[in-house]
């Protein structure tokens, strides 16, 4: 059985060297507007996207193909902010009805908790790029 290249990365640790990601679709920017690239590439070095396009010529430490997926560097996956509401519960000192928010008592009583399964933790902060950025 082939292991997915992401399984080789340590959870929560930034990998050494450049990572070249490929997918059926990459949302990039041509300098003036967004462009959709078929079978595009995204290269990440440290905490920066250094390339989005086709035919990266530099050295890379790893290649990861996401297959039938969309890679959108620079965009934030709002689903990954699902724990933001629990943060607001901790710092919001005004009546929720005044702000238009009403929290179910069961949610408040449960308190903050990890929303992601161990299998999905690498994708918790944003798009699949989040584990690299």
Reported as a single tens digit per residue, the pLDDT across 21-30 is 999 999 888 8
Longest distance between any two alpha carbons in the chain, whole Å: 56
- Number of domains making up the chain: 1
Report the CATH number at residue 73. 2.30.40
Q: What is the mean pLDDT of residues 3-18?
A: 76
The domain in which residue 10 lies consists of 5-131
Res 72: pLDDT:
86
Has residue 16 got a pLDDT over 80? Answer: yes
Question: β-pairing, 48-53 with 62-65?
Answer: unpaired
Query: Mean pLDDT across the chain, nearest whole number?
Result: 75
Which tokens in the block code for residue 122? 């690498």
Which tokens in the block code for residue 112? 């903050």
Residue 106: CB atoms within 10 A of its CB come to: 7
Residue 42 confidence class, pLDDT cut points 50, 70, 90: very high
Query: Whole-model pTM?
Result: 0.55
């Amino acid at each position: 059985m082939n292991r997915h290249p992401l399984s080789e990365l340590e959870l929560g640790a930034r990998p050494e060297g450049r990572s070249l990601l490929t997918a059926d679709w990459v949302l990039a920017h041509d300098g003036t507007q967004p462009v959709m690239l078929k079978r595009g590439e995204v290269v990440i070095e440290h905490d920066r996207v250094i390339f989005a396009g086709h035919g990266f010529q530099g050295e890379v430490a790893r290649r990861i193909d996401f297959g039938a997926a969309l890679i959108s560097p620079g965009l934030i996956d709002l689903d990954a902010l699902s724990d933001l509401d629990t943060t607001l519960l901790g710092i919001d000192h005004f009546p929720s009805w005044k702000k238009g928010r009403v929290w179910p008592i069961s949610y408040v009583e449960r308190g903050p908790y990890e929303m992601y399964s161990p299998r999905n933790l690498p994708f918790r902060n944003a798009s699949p790029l989040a584990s690299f950025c």
